[in-house]
């Protein structure tokens, strides 16, 4: 890496790392600490290949790594969670005083990782269906169906919890 | 508002306070350097620890009696809820090694214990997931513990295919322009190699292992770097600082801990240049280092390395 490469990498970080971190938090549904680790992991990959990719949309490259790593990490977590920590039965469902935002984030977290990623990219990042498909390496049809099913699931769970608390 | 808008709004609010740390660039670069020394290093170390969440003690397995039979002195309250758990007998930890992780966790839960999975291996790659049998557990089978005690289960990741950049190296002692004339007794080639691991010029690495250690673990790893990559390898900054020793008339940097791993884990490492354009790094896995005279053997391996071209 030349000094110019290093400087360009720093510039790239200054412009895009906060957005990467936010995406990571939303997609992997994990703590900020985990998300930071994930972003560092992705950026290390970017850094490793920086001279090759710096002129070729490094933002998309980085985002792709973050999103896919977040999905795979979320899956791994999910496996572990399913094994060890199914929700204790006496834990109350989300208490009614949580506001809608918290409830929505809670529901978002409960979705399968890829479905969650689709919702984050489509509705938070405002990516097109095509761009979302490219980032996730799946078809536009998959993006459409995952988005629709994800929204439907959230909507359904919201209604259920409203009925319960009513 | 539609649910899409609500959701977008909730997501925006959820992360609005989040900013990337100002030293992120430094962290990424440190990580990059560490990676070079670490591809295979984690091996036996436990790097990814799953979060533990207690499973409530609600089981009846060893409850000695039903409520209200303890006599007239027992108030109804005392026989209920949490107090019941206190009355339980201790639990004998069952043997979970060799069992499927899913089943093991379920059985432990059924026995009134908490399962914690520890994933053994290096940084996960896409597609890796904890799978397969439990290789170790703590506390050991037969230990008597209180209900709800955490039992650690060590599970190995299912790996993406091992990189084999250099193909079959035979005994593995000749690769990347060097030959090892000395290795501690009992080591065999790890049947693993990688290339282009540091810098732009040619670099190679492979590892040697004691037979029978965990898959993917190593005992000794050697990295070779040519040209400008040799400088990159040689300039690795040790923390804590390295001491300088003599290897074949050239200064070598020797560190008792080549990577600042978790506390108590050390990876003795030596780096030197065989020629101006050829640098070599040798490191020992933390486990292996404990079994041998680590610094002495490290020097002997280094002194036995020759350039082949």
The string of pLDDT tens digits covering residues B217-257 is 778 989 999 998 898 888 876 666 678 999 989 999 898 86
* Residue B145's pLDDT band (cuts 50, 70, 90): confident
Subunit contact B25:A20, Cβ cutoff 8 A: no
DSSP string, A86-105: PPPTTSPSS-TTS-HHHHHH
Those residues whose C-beta lies under 8 Å from the C-beta of residue A145, and which sit 6 or more positions away, are: none
User: B44-83 in b/e burial notation, b at 16+ Cβ within 10 A?
Assistant: bbebbebebeebebebeeeeeeeeeeeeeeeeeeebeeee
Mutate which of A13, A19, A80, A121 to test chain B, going by most B C-beta atoms within 10 A? A80
Decide if B31 and A41 are in contact by the 8 Å CB cutoff.
yes
- Partner residue facing B50 (CB), from A32, A80, A154: A80
- Asked whether B57 and B88 are in contact (CB, 8 A), the reply is yes
Placement of tokens 């769970």 in the chain:
A157
How many angstroms separate the CA atoms of B221 and B162, rounded? Answer: 15
Residue B19: closest C-alpha in chain A: A18
Q: Which domains does chain A have, with CATH numbers?
A: 3-165 (1.20.140.160)
Looking at CA atoms only, how far is residue B170 from chain A in angstroms?
30
Residues above pLDDT 90, as percent of chain A: 18
CA distances from B188 to B96, B104, B306 (A): 30, 33, 19
What distance in Å separates residue A133's CA from the closest CA in chain B? 18
Residues of B in contact with A18 (CB under 8 A): 18-20
pLDDT one-digit tens code per residue, B268-307: 889 999 999 999 999 888 788 888 998 999 999 999 999 9
> Mutate which of B4, B6, B20 to disrupt the A interface (most A C-beta within 10 Å)?
B20
A123 with B7: Cβ contact below 8 A: yes
Supply the pLDDT for residue A52: 86
Q: Which residue has the higher pLDDT, B123 or B8?
A: B8
CA distance linking residue A145 with residue B127, whole number of Å: 23
A8 vs A51, A134, B21, B142, B191, CA distance in Å? 10, 25, 18, 59, 39
pLDDT value at residue A81: 40
Res. A78: pLDDT tops 60: no
A112-129 mean pLDDT: 90
CB-based contacts of B17-22 (< 8 A; 24+ apart in sequence): B18/A18, B18/A21, B18/A22, B18/A25, B18/A32, B19/A18, B19/A21, B20/A13, B20/A17, B20/A18, B20/A20, B20/A21, B20/A39, B21/A36
pLDDT at residue B86 greater than cutoff 80: no
Residue-level length of chain A: 166
**Spatial distance between the Cα atoms of B201 and B203, rounded to a whole number of angstroms:** 6
Q: pLDDT, tens digit, for every residue of B59-69? A: 333 333 333 33
B145 versus B64: the higher-pLDDT residue is B145
Answer yes or no: do B8 and A48 touch at CB < 8 A: no
Higher pLDDT, A155 or B214: A155
Inter-residue long-range contacts of A30-39, CB under 8 Å, 24+ positions, other chains counted: A30/A73, A30/A74, A30/A77, A32/B18, A34/A73, A35/A70, A36/B21, A38/A66, A38/A69, A38/A70, A38/A73, A39/A66, A39/B20, A39/B24
pLDDT given at position A151? 92
Q: Is residue B125 scored above 90 in pLDDT?
A: no
CB B257 within 8 A of CB B267: yes
């Amino acid at each position: 890496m030349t000094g110019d490469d290093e400087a360009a990498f720093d510039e790239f970080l200054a412009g895009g790392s906060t957005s990467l971190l936010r995406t990571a938090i939303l997609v992997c549904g994990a703590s900020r600490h985990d998300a930071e680790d994930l972003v560092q992991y992705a950026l290390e990959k970017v850094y490793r290949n920086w001279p090759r990719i710096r002129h070729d949309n490094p933002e998309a490259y980085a985002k792709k790594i973050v999103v896919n790593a977040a999905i795979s990490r979320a899956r791994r977590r999910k496996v572990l969670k399913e094994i060890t920590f199914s929700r204790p039965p006496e834990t109350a469902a989300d208490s009614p005083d949580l506001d809608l935002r918290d409830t929505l984030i809670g529901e978002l977290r409960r979705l399968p990782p890829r479905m969650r990623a689709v919702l984050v990219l489509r509705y938070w990042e405002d990516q097109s269906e095509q761009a979302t498909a490219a980032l996730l390496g799946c078809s536009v049809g998959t993006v459409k169906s995952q988005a629709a099913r994800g929204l439907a699931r959230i909507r359904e769970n919201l209604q259920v919890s409203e009925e319960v608390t009513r | 508002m539609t649910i899409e808008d609500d959701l977008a709004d909730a997501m925006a609010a959820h992360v609005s306070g989040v900013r990337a740390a100002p030293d992120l660039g430094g962290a990424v670069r440190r990580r990059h350097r560490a990676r070079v020394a670490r591809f295979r290093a984690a091996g036996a170390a436990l790097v990814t620890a799953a979060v533990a969440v207690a499973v409530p003690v609600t089981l009846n397995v060893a409850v000695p009696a039903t409520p209200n039979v303890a006599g007239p002195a027992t108030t109804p309250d005392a026989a209920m809820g949490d107090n019941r758990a206190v009355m339980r007998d201790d639990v004998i930890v069952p043997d979970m090694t060799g069992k499927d992780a899913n089943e093991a966790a379920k059985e432990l839960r059924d026995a009134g214990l908490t399962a914690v999975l520890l994933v053994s291996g290096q940084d996960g790659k896409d597609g890796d997931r904890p799978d397969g049998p439990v290789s170790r557990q703590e506390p050991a089978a037969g230990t008597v513990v209180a209900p709800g005690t955490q039992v650690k289960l060590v599970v190995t990741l299912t790996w993406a295919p091992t990189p084999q950049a250099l193909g079959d190296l035979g005994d593995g002692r000749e690769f990347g322009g060097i030959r090892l004339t000395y290795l501690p007794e009992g080591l065999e080639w790890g049947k693993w190699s990688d290339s282009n691991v540091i810098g732009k010029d040619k670099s190679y690495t492979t590892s040697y292992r004691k037979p029978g250690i965990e898959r993917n673990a190593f005992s000794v790893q050697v990295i070779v770097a040519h040209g400008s990559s040799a400088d990159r390898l040689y300039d690795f900054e040790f923390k804590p600082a390295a001491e300088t020793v003599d290897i074949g008339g050239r200064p070598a940097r020797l560190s008792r801990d080549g990577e600042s791993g978790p506390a108590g884990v050390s990876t003795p490492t030596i780096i030197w240049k065989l020629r101006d354009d050829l640098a070599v790094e040798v490191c020992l896995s933390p486990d292996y280092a404990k079994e041998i005279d680590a610094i002495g053997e490290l020097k002997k391996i280094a002194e036995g390395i020759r350039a082949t071209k």
